Amino acid sequence: MEQTWRWWGPNDIITLSHVCQVGATGIVTALHDIPTGELWSSDAVAERKRAIESDRRLGLRWSVVESLPIHERIKLGEGNPSELLDTYRQSMRNLAMHGVTTICYNFMPVLDWARTQLRAPLPGGGNALRFNAHEFAAFDCYMLRRDGADIDYNADVLDHAKSWFAKATEDDKRRLLGAIMAGLPGAFDRYDIEGLRTMLARYRGIDRFRLRENLACFLREIIPTAEEVGIRMAIHPDDPPRPLLGLPRICSNAEDIAFILDAVPSPSNGLTFCTGSLGASYANDLPAMARRFAPNIHFAHLRNVAKQADGSFMEADHLGGDNDMVGVVKALLSEQKRRRDAGEANWRIPFRPDHGRELLDDVGKPTHPGYPAIGRMRGLAEIRGVMTALAAEHGFPI
Give Cα 5 distance to the centre of its chain: 13
Q: Is 236 a catalytic residue?
A: yes
Question: CA geometry: angle at 75 spanning 70 and 79, to 5°?
Answer: 105
Burial status of residue 385 (CB atoms within 10 A of its CB: 0-12, 13-18, 19 or more): exposed
What SS3 state is found at 5? strand
Q: How far apart are CA 311 and CA 313, in angstroms?
A: 7
Q: Is 371 a catalytic residue?
A: yes
Q: Is 301 a catalytic residue?
A: yes
Q: Is 71 a catalytic residue?
A: no
Q: Is 98 a catalytic residue?
A: no
What SS3 state is found at 164? helix
Catalytic entry in 88, 160, 274, 324: 274
Burial status of residue 145 (CB atoms within 10 A of its CB: 0-12, 13-18, 19 or more): exposed
Q: Which residues pair with 350 in a beta bridge?
A: 2
Catalytic entry in 134, 298, 301, 318: 301
Q: Is 324 a catalytic residue?
A: no
Catalytic entry in 71, 134, 298, 355: 355
What SS3 state is found at 235? strand
Q: Which residues pair with 232 in a beta bridge?
A: 102
Residues in Cβ contact with 336 at an 8 Å cutoff, skipping those fewer than 6 apart? 1, 347, 348, 349, 396, 397, 398
Catalytic entry in 152, 238, 324, 354: 354
Name the residues annotated as catalytic. 236, 274, 301, 354-355, 371
